[in-house]
Chain A
Amino acid sequence: MAGTGKAHLRNTDDVLLRVEDLVVEFPVGRTGLKVNAVSGISFDVLKGETLGIVGESGCGKSTTGRAIMQLPSPTSGSIVFDGTNLTALSGEAMREARTKIQMIFQDPISSLNPRRNVRDIVLEPLSIWNRGTKAEQLATVDKILEHVGIDPERAAESKPHQFSGGQCQRISIARSLVLNPQMIICDEPVSALDVSVQAQVVNLLEDLKKEFGLTLIFIAHDLAVVKNISDRIAVMYLGKICEVSSSEDLYRNPAHPYTDVLLSSIPVPDPTVAVKKVSVEGEPPSPVSPPAGCRFNTRCPNASDRCRSEEPTLREIEPGHFVACHHPLFGGEAPVTVRNS
């Protein structure tokens, strides 16, 4: 599977974010090796859409989210947000651009400075950018805190550790809303929360999205949660995108063997549904030395010689549904392409 291939990119006016050929590599200490966290992926997000990015550990989904924010800057690739190429921006300009894209992180408690009052934490963005008078800033903060279900008075005199995980996540969400961003990148925002609290946060995000007209990128490893909140899903494996489609289509007609494996591995909370036998062995190879050809070939039940040597590119197999595989579960074999390295 490859991230190369841009067949799935759209060219309409309402594309808010367009990422092309994103590559992020990290050096491994001083060994000279590098971690190929993200190896040339492209995707786009329309205004008002929720794009889910799903995959297991080492697939590069979190790195992708952070790369969009240039935290740190990607090794190569272009990231165009609302017409501006973020990778070309200087430090100061990038700092400003960041006010339009905000991020929420996985660990709710660690995302907040343990030494500061919650209200100050949420006030911080307004303070940095001098938006309005102090009184106006406080009013905005209080309003948003109430919106996410946190009592502003308590927030004024309490520190993060006095709140629960779910509440801390709401506080993070409030902080990200305060600058009125256009897009929020959610990096595993509910993975560290109890099941019943997850539902609260997911619902909250949906509500806020509608109310504030947000565009969301939702990164997670739990496909059920991602499917619930996303319009469109990109499945990543070892630094590449293997399938992109609408949430419903992905579930009903998975085309990539890996997507199929993911879906069948998820334990279903229904004892009448038989547990499927695991069809994939082993674990993802190391991103330091990814396999040649299709990166999933070492574990794919359908791997052929072609898969071991030639990297597949994303192609459309039904409207809006793209897969990077030589032998997808439906849609026919990939046409032989002229090799152009």
Chain B
Amino acid sequence: MSTNPNPVTPTNSDETIVKKKLGVGFWLCVAWLGLMAFIALFTPLLPLKSPTQNFLDTANGRPPYSPSWKHWFGTDKDARDVFARTLHGARISLAVGFAAISAGFLVGGTVGVISGYFKGWIDRVSSFVFIVLLSFPSLVLAILLTSLIERSLLTISLVLGLLSIAPVGRLARAATLQFADREFVLAARQIGATNRRIIIKEILPNVAIPMSSLALLGMAVAVVAEGGLSFLGLSVEKGITWGGLIQLGSESSKTLEEAPWIAFFPILMLFLTVLSLNFAGDRVRNYFDVKETTL
């Protein structure tokens, strides 16, 4: 028995508590991500140069051309506009990242919450499955799977989604377990709520917080994973991806030396996007953590 007759309760907290702000950094990240999302969605409509066209300009010598007013990010060896290609690359990279984490959440999250809530044999089975999935080195599995299948946006997303089921599921389960034993769940049961109602109205709103933080962090991982796959040439076929661009830009040390911009800009975009996702995810977690504890 550990009863604490003096819990540290927030005194006079009905006065305005100084709300822990998400911070300027968070909003900058959100802005960047918003921008990326916008680009990913509307690239074909934007007044960009064509990403596949060769903009040979014999007056300036042989490509690759360095960044200039005509080509903001320069061109690659085939005189294709790096800026346009980088922005196009955002489409697949972000789409895959988003789809993968969504699939992971949908399946893994659902299984995790149900296991954590009902426990018993459901939990034992799903935990076993999770452990099995986690035991595979994900990179190797990703490479294996993608080299066997027809590589489209859908299939790549599904592969990465499959790999994210276990980590997401485990977190969802842990978060659910944490809340399922709390007295307010017991209280809901004793007023006559059905299990379904309890999961939706009591558990999910609480679990949603660590999960949303995980969603952002997970998407970062997915984007990086896709980048890795496309660097190896194993991502979506016939698509422009950041990984692919980076691979092309770093084919040889000569290319890197003479035309570093070809690889640099895609790297920069990838880096900023992943950084924003990570930072935002971390901020979200911090922000909601505070609410549970007091002075």
Contacts and interface: CB of A to CB of B under 8 A. Distances in A.
Whether the complex brings A and B within 8 Å at their CB atoms is answered yes
B187 A114 contact: no
Contact of A128 (B10, B11, B13, B191): B191
Interface string B33-70: 00000000000000000000000000000000000000
A221 B205 CA distance: 34
Interface of chain A: mostly helix, strand, loop or mixed: loop
B4 A192 contact: yes
B260 to A, nearest CB: 49
Sort chain B's interface into a size bin: 20 to 34
Sort chain A's interface into a size bin: 35 or more
B142 to A, nearest CB: 36
Nearest to A62: B1
Contact of B191 (A109, A124, A158, A195): A124
Given A56-B1, A107-B183, A191-B3, A154 B192 contact: no
A171 to B, nearest CB: 11
Interface string B189-200: 111111001000
B187 A172 contact: yes
Interface in A53-79: 56-57, 66, 69, 71
Contact of B194 (A95, A106, A110, A193): A95
Contacts of A237: none
Interface stretch (A9-17, A160-168, A245-253, A301-309): A160-168
A111 interface: yes
Given A113-B202, A192-B4, A194-B5, A161 B294 contact: yes
A39 interface: no
Given A154-B14, A221-B1, A98 B183 contact: no
A188 interface: yes
A102 B191 contact: yes
Contacts of B4: 192
Contacts of B183: 105-107, 110-111
B253 interface: no
A194 B6 contact: yes
Interface of B: 1, 3-7, 9-11, 13-14, 17, 182-184, 186-194, 197, 201-202, 205-206, 291-292, 294
List 10 A-B pairs, minimum CB-CB distance, nearest first: A57-B1, A115-B205, A125-B191, A191-B3, A111-B183, A105-B183, A165-B9, A110-B183, A113-B184, A164-B9
